[in-house]
């Protein structure tokens, strides 16, 4: 039983380490890349407008990376089947578009 407790502690330590590394990467590396993109755009064009656009684009990309799980889950909710259930779309579900035939005079 002692081996299981040690293994659980090691798994918890690895989980905490990966959370800290992820926080470091998102916090420092992403901010460094956003600033580097803005500086590179300014150096290439000597335009503050293009540097600002690069900064806003980098910030938008950073926002998308930080909220990737929210975007993923919202897609599953929007493509849910219309059966009145609260299940999210997943394996075995599909979206079907039914087109009714046009009746009337065809020439």
pLDDT in tens, 93-106: 666 677 777 777 65
Report if residue 105 sits inside a domain: no
Residue that the structure tokens 């600002």 belong to: 52
Using a pLDDT cut of 70, give the percent of the chain over it: 68
> Angle, nearest 10°, between helix axes 48-66 and 68-78?
70
Report if residue 28 sits inside a domain: yes
Residue that the structure tokens 């079907």 belong to: 96
Report if residue 90 sits inside a domain: no
- Identify the domain containing residue 9 by its residue range: 2-78
- The total of structural domains in the chain comes to 1
Report if residue 72 sits inside a domain: yes
Report if residue 14 sits inside a domain: yes
Q: What predicted TM-score, i.e. pTM, was given to this entire model?
A: 0.50
Report if residue 32 sits inside a domain: yes
Tell me what pLDDT residue 102 has.
72
Confidence check: pLDDT of 85 > 60: no
Handedness of CA 33, 36, 40, 42 (dihedral sign): positive
* Selected residue with higher pLDDT from 48 and 100: 48
Report if residue 52 sits inside a domain: yes
User: C-alpha angle with apex 102: 100 to 106, nearest 5 degrees?
Assistant: 160
User: How far apart, in whole angstroms, are the C-alpha atoms of residue 103 and residue 72?
Assistant: 41
User: How far apart, in whole angstroms, are the C-alpha atoms of residue 21 and residue 66?
Assistant: 14
């Amino acid at each position: 039983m002692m081996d299981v407790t040690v293994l659980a502690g090691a798994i918890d330590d690895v989980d905490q380490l990966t959370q800290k590394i992820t926080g470091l990467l998102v916090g420092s590396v992403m901010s460094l890349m956003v600033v580097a993109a803005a500086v590179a755009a300014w150096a290439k064009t000597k335009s503050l407008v293009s540097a600002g656009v690069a900064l806003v684009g980098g910030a938008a990309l950073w926002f998308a990376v930080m909220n990737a799980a929210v975007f993923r889950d919202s897609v599953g909710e929007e493509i849910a089947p219309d059966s009145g259930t609260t299940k999210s779309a997943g394996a075995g579900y599909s979206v079907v578009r039914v087109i009714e035939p046009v009746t009337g005079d065809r020439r």
